[in-house]
Amino acid sequence: MKRNIQFIAGVCLFGLMTGLLTSCTDSMPEREAGTGELVECTFRLNTGTPVSVETRATDMSMISDVWVVQLNNAGTAALVAPARVVPDASKAINVKLKDETSKIYFFANTGNTTFFDTEDALSSFTTNAVEGKTITRTSNWGNMSYVPMYGTWTGKPTPPEITDADGNADKVELTRALAQVSATVTNSTGGKLTISTMQLKNVPNVLKVAPTESGTYPAASGTYLDYPTTSSLSATWLVAENCRGTGSGRYETEKTAAAVTGGDKATYLEIKGTYNGIGATYRFYLGGNNTNDYNVKRNTMYTVGITISGKYQLDARVTMDAYPLSVSSGSGAAWGDGSNTNLTGSRN
């Protein structure tokens, strides 16, 4: 039996866009630091194109509020207290900042009016402290009204509107801090298989809003969520990123928790049913490919197609009382760095 696998990594980054000069800013202490003066600037934010046209409870492109944090050039202190800003209809924000070269952080849709403590000492807002901010969930990330987003801008803010070297509006690109997973299961066993449920499992409950540099994260000691089961064979979820690294598998049939360090914390799709009356459980581990990548990354859309077609004794991803099933994986589309990559393979 020949089994084809195809992953298509396309690109459609999540970003942020703004326009007019009216917006609301939470009150903040008038505290001075450094030598620069306070100036009122307008930033244009770009949220890009929504990753999906389907109807969702979570709006993939809207911004409810933005936390703005301005750090000095060394990243050792804030120049002014963090400010929470509500954009206008065109996603433009006005904020008072120091007229100094600095790095400015934008945290959108945190769902928390106290995400930053505006009364803290300016020296407490270091690079590590700001970039280490997290959001914690006790249930499905898809239940959020808006998708958390993140972006930065470096330079000397000048009023009235931030522009680039050519004098054009300089947009701040915000990327979505969550990933989107869409899965479809096709039953091609001729009635031998009855699929009862599909479930997404091992989703971290903590999201680091700023991108994590590299390596395995979050910590294996953290809490991981199992999303509710569904009887539908097609579903879409929003998830916090979960990067467990690269495993030892050579073929898609070897992509199991045992094939990577800390695989018991890797995010996977579980399908349950019966084959000729025998209980069957299939686990499909998500990642950048079908063989050895266990990294579910932010700002990425994963589209997974699974076709179950019959018996296949060597598929380690399936557990049955008598024999496993044959499963072929479909396509995955990723939006990331703007490049287009096609990964294809087949095996008899």
Q: Are 140 and 227 in contact (CB under 8 A)?
A: yes
Mean pLDDT for all residues in the chain = 79
Q: With CA atoms as reference, report the closest residue to 254 among 231, 285, 224, 288.
A: 285
pLDDT at 230: 96
Span of 51-55, 242-246, 336-340 with lowest mean pLDDT: 336-340
pLDDT at 321: 46
Pick one of 2.40.128, 2.60.120, 2.20.28, 2.60.40 as the CATH number of 3-11+178-347. 2.60.40
Which two structure tokens, joined as six digits, stand for 191?
């009635």
Give residue-wise pLDDT tens across range 277-300: 888 888 899 998 888 999 999 998
pTM (2 d.p.) = 0.79
Cα(336)–Cα(153) distance, integer angstroms: 19
Given a cut of 80, whether residue 267 has pLDDT beyond it is yes
Give residue-wise pLDDT tens across range 108-165: 999 999 999 999 999 999 999 999 999 999 989 988 889 999 999 999 998 888 887 7
Mean pLDDT in residue range 163-191: 88
Q: Where are the alpha helices (DSSP H) in the chain?
A: 127-131
Mean pLDDT in residue range 70-90: 96
Instruction: Sketch the domain layout of the chain as residue ranges.
Output: 3-11+178-347, 24-173
Q: Does domain 24-173 have CATH number 2.60.40.2580?
A: yes
24-173 has the same fold as 3-11+178-347: yes
Q: 105 φ, ψ to 5°?
A: -105, 145
B/e letters for 201-236, b = 16+ CB within 10 Å, e = fewer, are ebbbbebbbbeeeeebbbeeeeebbebeeeeeeebb
